[in-house]
Amino acid sequence: MPTTAAVTAPVEHVVEQIENAGPLDPVVKAVRKAVNATLRPRALRDGLHGVWLGHPLHPMLTDIPIGAWSAAAILDVVPGTGPAASTLIAVGCASAVPTAVTGLADWAQLHPPQQRVGLVHAAANLVGLSLYTSSLAARLAGKPVRGRLLGFAGLGAVMAGGYLGGHLAFRQSAGANHNADVLDLYPSGWQDLGAFDDLPDGKPTKRTVEGVDLLVVRRGQQIDVLADKCSHLSGPLSDGEFTSEGGHGCVTCPWHGSTFRLSDGAVVHGPATSPQQRFDTRIVNGRVEAKLPGS
């Protein structure tokens, strides 16, 4: 009997090849350009990323088509359930469209290896959607056997796409919160960040405490400190721009433009959906100190 390693290694090898498949890049570039041109309004992009939800919207929406199509596959082996299976396939096809749009919005703001995997993930799901659309057409045309076979083929394509989606989320950390580890790494209690007078006014600055990088912004006597590693994909916020949104001081990440409110780390604009870790601050004898809230 083959071992687990023997079974999974070839799959991992294939995915690794996709991650490094430079020839996919011209396609990635063309699709990204089209996505960015289509999803130009920032409010639309923020909505699709899930800024309002505090989590990426795409993984939640995938439950609907995958659930509907999986249930249809079960009904397809139960006699007398053809109409119910057709209904589920129609629901899956209709819900796949908005699901794909949210995925494309996220995908357009990823790193190249993630975008290569994401491109193949999208292609597999597109094949799945085409097969399910043909399956539905066959069922409506009175060809149930053909409809079932196309449906099973569609489920296979969608499962392959799902494997790559899982790789993107869990191996390549797309959509994960990249500043969650700060809570574990930052020492408890107040920590010295240096002299107040050394901080430039209105300019993002980096300080490091026990290996944890911090973004420090001084505005007059006000000091705001956030984790420096952007929650989206670890971009350095201290290299970003100080901006103002709705009267609030903000910082904009130099990598993909996520914008965070300095006072509390809230996400103002995506693609990030997780807030930046905020720190309490104080000035003691002309020196700035910061600690995690509650520590």
Peptide bond preceding 187 in cis form (omega within 30 of 0): no
| 269 lies in the binding site for ligand FES (CB under 6 A) | no
Separation CA 200–CA 273 (nearest Å): 29
Rounded to the nearest whole angstrom, what is the least distance from the CB of residue 44 to ligand FES in the complex?
17
Task: Determine the Cα–Cα distance for residues 132 and 130; give it in Å rounded to an integer.
Answer: 5
Report the nearest approach of ligand FES to the CB of residue 81 (Å): 46
Encoded amino acid at 145, one letter? V
Q: Does 50 bind ligand FES (CB under 6 A)?
A: no
- Check binding of 267 to ligand FES (CB under 6 A): no
What does the alpha-carbon distance between residue 292 and residue 278 come to, in Å, rounded to a whole number?
7
- DSSP states along 4-34: HHHHHHHHHHHHHHHHT-GGGHHHHHHHHHH
Note whether 235 binds ligand FES by CB under 6 A: yes
Q: Which stretch binds ligand FES (CB under 6 A): 25-33, 100-108, 195-203, 229-237?
A: 229-237
Choice from 158, 182, 272, 288 touching ligand FES (CB under 6 A): 272
Residue 223: how many other CB atoms lie within 10 Å: 20
161 versus 271: smaller Cβ distance to ligand FES: 271
Please identify which residue in 89, 217, 227, 233 interacts with ligand FES, judged by CB under 6 A.
233
User: Any contact of residue 227 with ligand FES (CB under 6 A)?
Assistant: no
Distance CA 157, CA 286 (A): 62
The reply on whether position 256 binds ligand FES by CB under 6 A is: yes
Residue 255 binds ligand FES (CB under 6 A): yes
Q: Within 178-217, which residues bind ligand FES (CB under 6 A)?
A: none
Closest approach of ligand FES to the CB of residue 263, in Å: 19
What are the DSSP calls for 236-265, one per residue? BGGGSEEEEETTEEEEE-TTT--EEETTT-
* Min dist. Cβ of residue 256 to ligand FES (A): 3
Give whichever of 106 and 289 is closer to ligand FES, judged by the CB atom: 106
Q: Does the protein bind ligand FES through residue 253 (CB under 6 A)?
A: yes
Contacts for 38 with CB less than 8 Å, ≥ 6 apart: none
Query: For residue 103, what is the DSSP state?
Result: H
Min separation Cβ 195 and ligand FES, Å: 29
What are 272's two structure tokens? 């990030």
**Furthest-apart CA pair in the chain: how many Å?**
83
Interaction of residue 230 with ligand FES, rule CB under 6 A: yes
The whole-angstrom separation of Cα 192 and Cα 52 is 35
Could you say which of 172, 191, 258, 276 contacts ligand FES (CB under 6 A)?
A: 258
Closest CA to 127 of 69, 56, 67: 69
Using the rule CB under 6 A, which residue among 232, 269, 278, 291 binds ligand FES? 232
Q: Give the binding range for ligand FES (CB under 6 A) out of 2-10, 24-32, 60-68, 252-260.
A: 252-260
Question: What is the binding site for ligand FES (CB under 6 A)?
Answer: 230, 232-235, 253, 255-258, 271-272
